[in-house]
Structure 1
Amino acid sequence: MRKWKRVDGARGPRFRSALEPHEAELLSNLVSSMLGMLEDRASSAPVDELSEITGMRTGNAVAPQDDTMKRILPDFYRPATDHPAGTGAAESLNSALRSLHEPDIIDAKREAAQRLLQTLPAGGGKVELSEDQAGAWVTAVNDVRLALGTMLDIGPEGPDRLPPEHPLAAHLDVYQWLTVLQEYLVVCLMDSR
């Protein structure tokens, strides 16, 4: 992967880089897997009669059970201190907020992932993105990083290296590659010239 380069032109800023064939295939597979996870979550939402009448979509009121999806779709509210009424108040608030907002959040994440896949050169090669497309890439790559980081149990003090014989060593390398891809693009987007 080459560093991202910002090119200002008549159509506005463009963001350019290039991916090797194996990088494009890996990114496509990871983002497609993320799309599948989001589809599964969206399709598991219960049918709500009121939403059928009003047209207001509702989502799952219950947080995902899977740690990876919990990281992608976290709770909305985390109390700073214990509530005198117990954890029930926070759970009730999270349930209501999740039910109302999760469908739109999933839609936004799916749209970003689909935009990345649409602009990803099949077989690798040059990438040229508009500012909106670059934002979609940042979002989709971030979601994949969060998912992979959760699977690898990477926290704030996560490992920088694993021994080569460790079964997850290659996955950590992928995580770090995604981090660099995202960081270079974010820095390029922030370059206001």
Structure 2
Amino acid sequence: MAKAFRRSGRGADRRFVATLDADEREVVASLMDQVHDLLEPPGHPSTGDDAFDDLVAGLDLTGGDEPPAPVDEGPRDPALDRLLPSAHREDDAAAAEFRRLTEGGLRHRKARALAASAAVLRADADKVALDEGQARSFLTALTDVRLVLGERLDLRTDEDLELLERAATSLDDDEPLVHVIALYDFLTWLQETLAGALLRG
């Protein structure tokens, strides 16, 4: 059974520790892989393994094709706009120029945090134990996974999630949507407990 993140130790020995079983770690790591692949610029090798695709049954977090280049990208996966929001919502030219100058670096930093966090989850250990730098990267990775999953579920407000959860109560437990909502709630819980542990640190 999963146990929330908590702070352990002091000074250089301080760690942020959670207990997740092997299946929980692999599901979260697989999601991080998929969001990594969405963010990674074209031409870079994929690190994802599609193990979660069957569960989401059509809610493919990668959006299907490789991510487009930041310049002249044509149709853009809306999940990228959640991960990389426009800096100038009312000035398309300024937004495009800002994206040209900054998006590559931001994609790389986010992809690196996702890859590092997935590697930690796949380490041969009973607990997830993070130093402060790893914890901040892990928090960023969890946030990005939730943003993409929220986009795939068309969530914009807390009320949207409440309506979706209410609708899911009439579905059988083995329906994919029920599992996806449960996963979204699990990621939210992980994110909140890690953020809380960092704030108390």
Using the size of structure 2 for normalisation, the TM-score is: 0.76
SS of alignment partner, residue 16 of structure 1: strand
The residue that corresponds to 1:75 in the other structure is 86
Instruction: State the alpha-carbon separation in 2 of the partners of residues 119 and 25 from structure 1.
Output: 11
Deviations 1:21-74 (A, max 9, x none): 1111101110011111112568643xxxxxxxxxxxxx4255862111221122
Deviations 1:150-189 (A, max 9, x none): 0001111222312333642211111110000000000000
Instruction: State the alpha-carbon separation in 2 of the partners of residues 172 and 132 from structure 1.
Output: 29
Instruction: State the alpha-carbon separation in 2 of the partners of residues 116 and 76 from structure 1.
Output: 27
Query: Which amino acid in the other structure matches residue 179 of structure 1?
Result: T
SS of alignment partner, residue 3 of structure 2: coil
Q: Assess if the C-alpha contact under 8 Å between 1:6 and 1:14 holds in 2.
A: yes
Q: What residue ranges of structure 2 are gaps of 5+ in the alignment?
A: 45-67
Matched, 1:181 2:190: yes
Which stretch shows the higher mean deviation, 32-41 or 98-107? 32-41
Structure 1 segments of 4+ aligned residues over 4 angstroms from their partners: 40-43, 61-64
Q: Assess if the C-alpha contact under 8 Å between 1:16 and 1:129 holds in 2.
A: yes
Larger Rg: 1
Instruction: State the alpha-carbon separation in 1 of the partners of residues 142 and 43 from structure 2.
Output: 20
Using the size of structure 1 for normalisation, the TM-score is: 0.79
The residue that corresponds to 1:159 in the other structure is 161
Equivalenced residue count is 169
SS of alignment partner, residue 161 of structure 2: coil
Instruction: State the alpha-carbon separation in 1 of the partners of residues 13 and 88 from structure 2.
Output: 38
SS of alignment partner, residue 106 of structure 1: helix
SS of alignment partner, residue 5 of structure 1: strand
Alignment root-mean-square deviation, CA? 2.1
Q: What residue ranges of structure 1 are gaps of 5+ in the alignment?
A: 46-58, 80-89
SS of alignment partner, residue 187 of structure 1: helix
Instruction: State the alpha-carbon separation in 1 of the partners of residues 151 and 42 from structure 2.
Output: 17
Query: Which amino acid in the other structure matches residue 159 of structure 1?
Result: L
Matched, 1:26 2:57: no
